[in-house]
Amino acid sequence: MADGLYKEGIAAERLAPEQYSANFSDLHPPLDRHEALVESDRCYFCYDAPCMQACPTSIDIPMFIRQISTGNPLGSAKTIFDQNILGGMCARVCPTETLCEEVCVREVAEGKPVQIGRLQRYATDTAMERGAQFYERAPDTGRHVAVVGAGPAGLACAHRLAMHGHKVTIYEARPKAGGLNEYGIAAYKAPEGFAQDEVDYVLSIGNIEVQNDQILGRDFSLSDLADRHDAVFLGAGLSGVNALQAEGEDIEGVQNAVDFIAMIRQASDMSKLSVGRRVVVIGGGMTAVDAAVQSKLLGAEQVTICYRRGKDAMNASEFEQDLAASKGVTIRHWLKPARILSGNGKVSGIEMEYTTMRDGRLAGTGETVRIDADQIFKAIGQTFDPIPLNGSGAAVVMEGGRIKVDADGRTSLANVWAGGDCIFGGDDLTVSAVAQGRDAAESIHRALA
């Protein structure tokens, strides 16, 4: 690319119009009926099922695969939804390669696991496409529960509570329900509006009201919710982004990766989205990979992920790392940001310091390298903001910067539960958030009953 064109910097419409559609097509095309039957026949239907033990929601995986193999995809979907009402999205975004598929006997013996995630998608997609409803509400209990956040934890909690006959009101800060499923994952993982289709499917049980654009600490307080409802579930997620702690990170061109991903998710025309020609992403998790890969798909010429530790320490799975490499993303290890470089008030590059392990701790070596960039994304983790939570009334006990809960999801406040990314000890996975929301709902139900 000529220097004159490079100087245009961040711009849109870099690719042919049809290329955007191809780039953001479904990462894992769905299995058809024949493919699903063939794949399901590969399962050994293990009695002790290590795949089931590895699933945070404890789906009976051998059972749902056997139901597919016998031509009963709706029965299979019910087996999945009984444990994970957001099983459709989890089939798309769950890191199965490090959970159920990693411990599959086929993987251990042959290096090729049963494609559990794609089989799960086949069953749940079939049920949703046919409009199959498996659950009815119990008689109205007269109890009313508030749920803060319409993400995976909040939706799972609300659905289970509604199934038990409780009325639920979800207070959601964003214009749409879905949380990270709607705003926080790569567009190619759940295209064609699937996130909202799943929200509609979950809410179709009835007795769940969603109030959007309602922010905790601005439009209502926790004490207010507790006064007006019989119980409260907090599934607020993470709203803050960790700082780079590098000189110049406020310069134009330095952005939060989560905001970039959300922008892509909500875009109606990918060709209108601007992206740098030389992009650097700081971080080593799924968010970093999602931001880097999508930068490349939007037309960035050079995309580099910089991570402060080695390859094995990256939170992004090996599959995600390989995906990034296959799209032309360069991953560089043992580098941490030292200084953002600028020209004319805009980003021109970043100075990175090499790192090493010294006495068991990460340390800088003092040696630096410059990487040219006109756009830098921060993807080094998100934080929970407790200020809105404890703006009035008794304070919720925190641990490690997040809400402390017991095994049932109870917080330190009476009649207040929590789950998902906002709680201490979570692993920031959609499937784990669903399990926590579901289990908290059962605890709330027992308490109200």
Q: What is the pLDDT of residue 7?
A: 42
Q: What is the pLDDT of residue 391?
A: 57
Contact 235, 185 (CB under 8 A): no
Distance CA(170)–CA(179), nearest Å, equals 12
| β-bridge pairing 398-399 and 382-383 | unpaired
What six digits make up the tokens of 127? 């049920």
Distance CA(323)–CA(28), nearest Å, equals 12
Tell me, what amino acid is at 226? A
Domains (range + CATH), the chain? 33-129 (1.10.1060.10), 144-239+384-448 (3.50.50.60), 241-381 (3.50.50.60)
Choose among 286, 345, 272: nearest CA to 319: 286
- 69 SS3 class: helix
Q: What is the dihedral of CA 436, 413, 385, 389, to 10 degrees?
A: 120
Q: What is the pLDDT of residue 394?
A: 58
**What is the C-alpha radius of gyration for the chain, rounded to an integer number of angstroms?**
23
- The answer, yes or no, to whether residue 6 has pLDDT greater than 60, is no
Mean pLDDT of 83-97: 96
- The answer, yes or no, to whether residue 47 has pLDDT greater than 60, is yes
23 DSSP 8-state letter: H
Distance CA(414)–CA(373), nearest Å, equals 51
Mean pLDDT of 359-366: 95
Reported as type and span, the H/E element at residue 169 is strand 167-171
Greatest Cα pair distance, the chain, in angstroms, is 70
Residue environment code for 251-277, b if the CB has 16+ CB neighbours within 10 A, otherwise e: bebbbbbbebbbebbeeeebbebebbb
pTM of the model: 0.93
Choose among 301, 186, 255, 270: nearest CA to 12: 270
The size of the chain, in residues, is 449
Choose among 252, 264, 326: nearest CA to 295: 264
- The answer, yes or no, to whether residue 214 has pLDDT greater than 70, is yes
With 0-12 / 13-18 / 19 or more C-beta atoms within 10 angstroms meaning exposed / middle / buried, residue 365 is exposed
Tell me, what amino acid is at 41? D
Question: What pairs with residue 378 in β-bridges?
Answer: 256, 282
Q: State the pLDDT confidence band at 333, using cuts at 50, 70 and 90.
A: very high
What six digits make up the tokens of 213? 């654009």
Number of H helices, E strands in the chain: 17, 17
Distance CA(426)–CA(150), nearest Å, equals 18
Q: What is the pLDDT of residue 1?
A: 34
Helices (H), 130-170: 152-163
Q: What is the pLDDT of residue 11?
A: 86
Give the mean pLDDT of the chain. 93
Distance CA(305)–CA(432), nearest Å, equals 27
Choose among 234, 235, 226: nearest CA to 415: 226
Distance CA(389)–CA(331), nearest Å, equals 38
| β-bridge pairing 346-358 and 335-343 | antiparallel
Question: What pairs with residue 306 in β-bridges?
Answer: 282, 332
What six digits make up the tokens of 189? 């993982």
Distance CA(20)–CA(297), nearest Å, equals 7
Distance CA(392)–CA(222), nearest Å, equals 7
Neighbour count for residue 96 (Cβ, 10 Å): 25
User: CA geometry: angle at 26 spanning 313 and 68, to 5°?
Assistant: 95
Contact 377, 260 (CB under 8 A): yes
Taking each helix axis from N to C end, the angle separating 61-69 and 73-83, rounded to the nearest 10 degrees, works out to 170
Reported as type and span, the H/E element at residue 351 is strand 346-358
pLDDT digits (tens, 9 = 90+) for 146-199: 999 999 999 999 999 999 999 999 999 999 999 999 999 999 999 999 999 999
Distance CA(149)–CA(57), nearest Å, equals 20
Q: What is the pLDDT of residue 159?
A: 98
Q: What is the pLDDT of residue 241?
A: 84
